[in-house]
Amino acid sequence: MEKPGLFDVKISDISSTMLITLYCRALESRSRNPIINDPEAVRIADTINSRLAGSGERLYRDLAQGKLDKKLTTFISLRARRFDDYARAFLSGNPGGTVVNMGCGLDTRFWRIDDGKMSFYDLDLPEVIEIKRKLCREAGRYHMIASSVLDYNWLSLLKNETGGPVLFLAEGLVMYLEKKDVRELVLKLQSSFPGSELVCEVVNESVAHGWLKAAMNMRLQRQLHLGRGAMFLSGIRDGREIESWSPGIRLIDEWSYFDSSEKRLGPARFIGAIPWMRRVQWTVHYKLG
Ligand SMILES: C[S@@+](CC[C@H](N)C(=O)[O-])C[C@H]1O[C@@H](n2cnc3c(N)ncnc32)[C@H](O)[C@@H]1O
């Protein structure tokens, strides 16, 4: 389903989710004691705010007025900070390495983590990159790739530019893809860049197909006012499942929102004591050997 879009570029329901995460980081950055400090997110939100305010879309108008669930802002900020930390740790072990931010949306990680040596690629669907190019400038070690992550030509192009080591990030992406596509993507990353790493947020199968599916979709559509096209399509049983897709894949670690001692999670922190709740939506980190 198409939405009216930004700068006369139509945006699909799935891509509209990038505005929510952008505004979460921008609002958080403006708060006292922010979990994440993201001046570029603030700049972009300020730049597009009047366009969203005049939109026919309820989601866009809510964002422009700063109407965002506080818990969601906390969760998204914790996730972005954790992904930043994964990237920094990778770059400290692999100076001058390459980071590929798949399904980047309007994320501004390059400016948050740049160490002056790395190469950084932001990849998203062509309409998203068309918008992002109006808001951010490609230069030097920062590049954008306008492609579906599932159109694998981008991997050949990347291979021409870097031999590795590469860290692939997928923050809020793979749950919107079919499982067979996620499997194929992971295997392509592995065969194109053996020895690379993948950090990927996933949801449990029960969220994509089981008893939690209705609750999750209701949250996406009724609470966040996203269109019907924004739906979780795939999940995994546990972090070991992706290891079983190929002998060289090794699970390095997993991270749950509840691993954070952030006080603003409030009573939600205690949910982390229930093991399966830690694996409803969480992050997995692999070596693709
Ligand atoms: C929830 S947003 C996350 C954006 C960003 N990672 C962040 O945390 O702010 C999901 C993003 O995945 C992108 N996306 C969805 N399907 C895609 C695909 N097949 N190829 C590339 N990007 C895709 C959407 O356009 C959107 O920008």
Which residues does 21 contact at the CB level (< 8 Å), separation at least 6?
76, 80, 105, 106, 107, 172
With a 6 Å cutoff on the Cβ, whether 23 touches ligand 1 is no
With a 6 Å cutoff on the Cβ, whether 105 touches ligand 1 is yes
What are the backbone dihedrals phi and psi of residue 85, each rounded to the nearest 5 degrees, phi first?
-65, -40
Checking if the pLDDT of 170 tops 90, the result is: yes
What pLDDT, in 10s, does the model give residues 10-39? 999 899 999 999 999 999 999 999 999 999
Burial 230-248 (b: 16+ CB within 10 A, else e): bbbbbbbebbebbeebeee
What pLDDT, in 10s, does the model give residues 171-224? 999 999 999 999 999 999 999 999 999 999 999 998 888 777 877 777 777 777
Q: Whose Cα sits closest to atom 4 in ligand 1? A: 105
Structure tokens at 144: 């954008």
Nearest by Cα to 44 from 166, 131, 117: 131
Map 76-133 to HEC letters: HHHHHHHHHHHHHHHHHHCCCCEEEEECCCCCCHHHHHCCCCCEEEEEECHHHHHHHH
> pTM higher than 0.85 for the full model?
yes
Checking if the pLDDT of 259 tops 90, the result is: no
CA distance 154 to 189: 11
Structure tokens at 137: 């400038």
Q: With cut-offs at 50, 70 and 90, classify the pLDDT of residue 48.
A: very high
Amino acid at 3: K
With a 6 Å cutoff on the Cβ, whether 176 touches ligand 1 is yes
With a 6 Å cutoff on the Cβ, whether 171 touches ligand 1 is yes
For range 47-71, the mean pLDDT: 93
User: Measured from the CA of 150, which atom of ligand 1 is nearest?
Assistant: 19
124 CA distance to ligand 1 centroid (A)? 6
User: Domain 95-288 falls in which CATH fold?
Assistant: Rossmann fold (3.40.50)
244-186-253 Cα angle (round to 5): 65
Nearest by Cα to 77 from 114, 120, 42: 42
User: Measured from the CA of 148, which atom of ligand 1 is nearest?
Assistant: 20
For range 251-279, the mean pLDDT: 86
Q: Is it true that the peptide bond before 247 is cis, omega within 30 degrees of 0?
A: no
Q: Tell me the best of 12, 13, 17, 44 to mutate to test the pocket of ligand 1, counting ligand atoms within 8 Å of each CB and taking the most.
A: 17
174 CA distance to ligand 1 centroid (A)? 8
Side-chain-facing half-sphere of 251: CA atoms under 13 Å:
13
CA distance 207 to 209: 6
CA distance 132 to 141: 16
Burial 128-147 (b: 16+ CB within 10 A, else e): bbbbbeebbeeeebbbbbbb
Q: Look at residue 2 in the predicted model and tell me its pLDDT.
A: 47
Amino acid at 181: D
Cβ atoms of 16 and 230 within 8 Å: the answer is yes
Cβ atoms of 23 and 46 within 8 Å: the answer is no
Q: Where are the domains of the chain?
A: 2-71, 95-288
